[in-house]
Amino acid sequence: MIGEPDWPFGTTHCRFDLFDGSKRIAKRPLPIDNDGSNAREDNCSITWNTNNVTIMVSGEEQEDREYVLNFEIL
């Protein structure tokens, strides 16, 4: 889910939803500090691994943030 930034130059609120078929099994908020810009494709990268998915989020006003969702605990 791609959200809107806080006005005028705040955090953009996004969310990663993980589904197994049509059932949502996890959701993770992904805030992006990007000078009030809307989220773009180049703000995140997703890597699917054997036991987890790794989401790397980047923005102009933040260091890269890594989020890992492990499949076995879902």
pLDDT at 58 over 80: yes
Q: Mapping DSSP to helix (H, G, I), strand (E, B) and coil, where does residue 55 land?
A: strand
Tell me the whole-structure pTM to 2 decimals.
Answer: 0.73
How many angstroms separate the CA atoms of 24 and 32, rounded?
A: 22
| pLDDT tens figures, 11-55 | 888 888 888 889 888 888 888 888 888 888 889 999 999 989 999
Q: How confident is the model at residue 2 (pLDDT cuts 50, 70, 90)?
A: low
